[in-house]
């Protein structure tokens, strides 16, 4: 059974949960989740410590490099993360998440643009579902994806959090000006 090292951190947008394997960051989740939103974390009502073949070991020491870069991001001192990711998903999800990673800091793309980027121009709804399943919020920047008409829509951390992240990056003023 694989052990994921975990920690919780405070951030400008609220508490965050981080989990990493020996290969990189597996999950970055908002503490507050919307109903039905997926989580790698075990249900606290369960006494079992494992989920999906994982055991969890709390380890701020091992996750400190991730926490440091996230703190720099929230302080406006970091635009790109340098730590490794251990993304796990379907081939289509991985393609979508790689396309998200290509969106520069301070910019946005539409779901349709991401669909075109992954070679599936009519799959904008499927792109939305892949974004919904993104296990590494903020770092894999699904907050940078907006509707084709320029409006903010759908975000696992809530639209207020999406707005705050885009404001932090200076992207919201460009969205509103478009």
Catalytic residues: 142
Q: Are 69 and 87 in contact (CB under 8 A)?
A: no
Cα 46 from Cα 98, distance rounded (Å) = 34
The beta-strand segments (E) located in the chain are 2-9, 16-20, 25-30, 54-58, 109-110, 145-146
- What is the phi-psi region of residue 143: left when phi exceeds 0, alpha when psi lies from -120 to 50, beta otherwise? alpha
Q: Are 51 and 39 in contact (CB under 8 A)?
A: no
Nearest residue to 38 via CA among 25, 23, 24, 26: 26
Q: What SS3 state is found at 146? A: strand
| CA distances to 41, 72, 118 from 55, in Å | 10, 29, 33
């Amino acid at each position: 059974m694989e052990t994921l090292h975990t920690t919780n951190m405070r951030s400008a947008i609220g508490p965050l949960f981080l989990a990493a394997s020996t290969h990189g960051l597996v999950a970055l989740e908002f503490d507050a989740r919307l109903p039905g939103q997926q989580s790698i974390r075990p249900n606290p009502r369960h006494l079992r410590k494992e989920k999906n073949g994982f055991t969890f070991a709390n380890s701020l020491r091992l996750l400190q490099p991730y926490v440091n870069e996230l703190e720099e991001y929230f302080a406006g001192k970091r635009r790109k993360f340098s730590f490794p990711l251990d993304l796990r998903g379907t081939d289509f999800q991985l393609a979508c998440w790689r396309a998200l990673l290509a969106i520069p800091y301070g910019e946005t793309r539409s779901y349709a643009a991401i669909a075109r980027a992954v070679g599936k121009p009519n799959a904008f709804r499927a792109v939305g579902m892949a974004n919904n399943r993104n296990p590494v919020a903020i770092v894999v920047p699904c907050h940078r994806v907006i509707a084709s008409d320029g409006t903010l829509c759908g975000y696992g951390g809530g639209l207020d959090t999406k707005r705050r992240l885009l404001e932090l990056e200076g992207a919201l003023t460009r969205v509103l000006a478009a």
